[in-house]
Amino acid sequence: MATITIVEDDSFMREELTDILLKAGYNVIAISDFQDVVTPIVANPPDLVLLDINLPGLSGFDICRSLKSKGIRPILILTSRDKLQDELHGLQLGADDYLTKPCNRDRLLARIQNLLRRFEGQPDLLEGSNFTLDPNTFTLYKGDQSLLLSANEGKILKALVQHKSEMVSKSTLSEHLWGTNQYIDENALQVNITRLRKTLRKLDLDDQIETIRGQGYRLRG
Amino acid sequence: MATITIVEDDSFMREELTDILLKAGYNVIAISDFQDVVTPIVANPPDLVLLDINLPGLSGFDICRSLKSKGIRPILILTSRDKLQDELHGLQLGADDYLTKPCNRDRLLARIQNLLRRFEGQPDLLEGSNFTLDPNTFTLYKGDQSLLLSANEGKILKALVQHKSEMVSKSTLSEHLWGTNQYIDENALQVNITRLRKTLRKLDLDDQIETIRGQGYRLRG
DNA sequence: TAATTTCCTTACACCATTTGTAAGTGTTTT
DNA sequence: AAAACACTTACAAATGGTGTAAGGAAATTA
């Protein structure tokens, strides 16, 4: 069974987490000395690290990246601040998922299960019918060629690929581009579609995006 | 012992590779049906894939990315074309290393050993004393902040971090920036150093780069 | 067919970023 | 004090991304 290391300074929280995980059948190592968190973890690499980002006097973010640079993954971040910013920063690199405290038991276990499953082999490439998209860097691949999409192109194509072969409404695409209900001229979307099509053509990807009149767009394949 | 899957259409080559790997103590699965390469590999994921990029009628690059999107890694590419371009493309995403045919036995085994060691946990973040650098995306991390460096800034910092606390000569840095012996005004390097320092200061990283008069620069720490 | 709606494309202007050059100032060494 | 070296600032050019506008193309409807 998988081993999970807990890094959490609040002793009550730490024991509760330990209890939950033990009962769920995981091996648990709880760190209680915060002088040097990284080396003991590296010395005995677990299958997952549960990391409180708010440690007294320490930067959880630095610990997170330090662990990752040593190959320790996945890392699930615990945070009491429920500000979106921090979560994004945590995910931006190093962390693989986050959770806000106080956390529901089932939710916690679900996330952990998810990460463990996912990290038996890590994917994170989206496959179209004729191409592959890295949704993080917006790099487009086909055969031995590759291409960096612009932000707008990437957002559109990502949305389309995620709804593989299903129609994506214009308003949905607008949200992906400019956020919810930030209304921009509808033509702006059209222009960006045109530009994406043009870019796709550079890799001989013609006729990938089908337009559904009055509704939205759809990826062919 | 680790399992290695071989994808190679030339039967002579395939048997030779199989032989070498078996004698080295690996479990070997050799694919001989090239109708659908990906699914059998996904069904039985090996610890490493040895992939000939020149398959008749197939795009080895597509296979490569398809495998990676399914979480199959590492992938070591075999190529008979010794063009640098292809190798770079192979590495750009999906492949984790490459090898040109015909290949030396010891070299092959060394590469494989390397990859297997590396992929027990994958790092690829460079750690400075106060910061972390992703040398691929040139993203700079410190605490909960991050920052995208420009190409020049990234190249310089990468070179400095790689020679942690050792001096890096101006000519070496020039090579990292503009390639070997492409002489550009020495002042250009100074300017780029200034810019990097300024950027570092945005994350409160002051006095990171020490100048060694008449010689070059050095990372403090 | 004609009118209307919807979509596509091109050109334009604006902005932000990156970068080498140049010139002047500061600092160290001799 | 002079020379050598390093630092900084400003400038201009190039590049790329973006929304807007306007006109043409295509599909739909009457």
**C-alpha A120, offset from chain centre:** 16
Query: How high is the pLDDT of residue A200?
Result: 94
Q: Contact at 8 Å (CB) between A80 and A101? A: yes
Of A13-17, A179-183, B127-131, B161-165, minimum mean pLDDT range = A179-183
Q: Do B68 and A125 touch (CB under 8 A)?
A: yes
A151 beta carbon to strand D: under 7 Å:
yes
B50/B30 Cα distance (integer angstroms):
9
pLDDT at A83 over 50: no
Name the closest residue on chain B to residue A148, using Cα atoms.
B92
B27 beta carbon to strand D: under 7 Å:
no
Q: Mean pLDDT throughout A127-149? A: 81
Query: How high is the pLDDT of residue A122?
Result: 44
Same-domain status, B107 and B71? yes
Name the closest residue on chain A to residue B125, using Cα atoms.
A69
**Which one is predicted more confidently, B178 or A193?**
A193
Same-domain status, A26 and A43? yes
Query: How high is the pLDDT of residue A84?
Result: 43
Query: How high is the pLDDT of residue A201?
Result: 93
Residue A126: pLDDT band by 50, 70, 90 thresholds? confident
Q: Do B65 and A132 touch (CB under 8 A)?
A: yes
A185 beta carbon to strand C: under 7 Å:
no
Sheet of B75-79, strand order: B27-31, B3-7, B48-52, B75-79, B97-100
**Residue A123 near chain B (CB below 8 Å):** yes
**Residue A70 near chain B (CB below 8 Å):** yes
Same-domain status, B173 and B91? no
Name the closest residue on chain B to residue A85, using Cα atoms.
B144
Residues 8-27 of chain A within 7 A of strand C, judged by CB, are none
Same-domain status, B74 and B104? yes
Query: How high is the pLDDT of residue A139?
Result: 82
Of B90, B118, B146, the residue at which a domain comes to its end is B118
pLDDT at A112 over 70: yes
- CATH number of the domain residue A66 falls in: 3.40.50.2300
Q: Which domain holds residue B190?
A: 126-219
Chain A contact set for B124 (CB, 8 A) = 69
Query: How high is the pLDDT of residue A124?
Result: 58
Same-domain status, B97 and B30? yes
- CA distances (Å), B15 to each of B2, B25, B38, in order? 18, 15, 20
Query: How high is the pLDDT of residue B104?
Result: 66
- CATH number of the domain residue A200 falls in: 1.10.10.10
Angle between helices A170-178 and A186-202 (to 10 degrees): 80
Same-domain status, A135 and A192? yes
Q: Which residue's C-alpha is at the least distance from the C1' of D8?
A: B194
B12/B19 Cα distance (integer angstroms):
11
Name the closest residue on chain B to residue A69, using Cα atoms.
B123
- Which residue in this structure is represented by tokens 């040593």? A70
The domain total for chain A is 2
Same-domain status, A178 and A208? yes
Q: Do B121 and A89 touch (CB under 8 A)?
A: no
A184 beta carbon to strand D: under 7 Å:
yes
Of A100-114, A153-167, B74-88, B144-158, minimum mean pLDDT range = B74-88
Same-domain status, B211 and B140? yes
Same-domain status, B88 and B142? no
Of A198-202, A212-216, B13-17, B108-112, minimum mean pLDDT range = B108-112
Å: A160 CA to C6 C1':
21
**A window 151-170, beta carbon within 8 A of B:** none
Closest CA to B3 of B82, B135, B116, B87: B116
Query: How high is the pLDDT of residue A191?
Result: 94
Query: How high is the pLDDT of residue A29?
Result: 86
A153 beta carbon to strand D: under 7 Å:
yes
**Residue B134 near chain A (CB below 8 Å):** yes
A171/A189 Cα distance (integer angstroms):
10
- Beta-carbon contacts of B13 under 8 Å, excluding residues fewer than 6 positions away, are B52, B101
Q: Which residues of chain B are modeled with pLDDT < 70?
A: 80-96, 102-104, 106-107, 110, 114, 117-124, 136, 144, 180-183
In the numeric block, which tokens belong to residue B55?
A: 């398959």
Q: Mean pLDDT throughout A50-67? A: 82
Same-domain status, B187 and B93? no
Residue A211: pLDDT band by 50, 70, 90 thresholds? very high
Query: How high is the pLDDT of residue B86?
Result: 47
Query: How high is the pLDDT of residue A118?
Result: 64
Q: Contact at 8 Å (CB) between A155 and A193? A: no
Q: Name which of B141, B145, B148, B161 to mutate to probe chain A: the one with the most chain A Cβ atoms within 10 A of its Cβ.
A: B141
Q: Provide ipTM, 2 decimals.
A: 0.57
Same-domain status, B91 and B181? no
**Residue B123 near chain A (CB below 8 Å):** yes
Q: Contact at 8 Å (CB) between A4 and A19? A: no
To the nearest whole angstrom, how far is the Cα of B125 from the nearest Cα of chain A? 5
Same-domain status, A104 and A49? yes
A213 beta carbon to strand D: under 7 Å:
yes
End-to-end CA distance of chain B: 40
Task: Name the most confidently modeled range: A3-7, A44-48, A125-129, B115-119.
Answer: A3-7
Query: How high is the pLDDT of residue A94?
Result: 55
Closest CA to A76 of A40, A38, A110: A110
Q: Do A68 and B125 touch (CB under 8 A)?
A: yes
Query: How high is the pLDDT of residue B156?
Result: 94
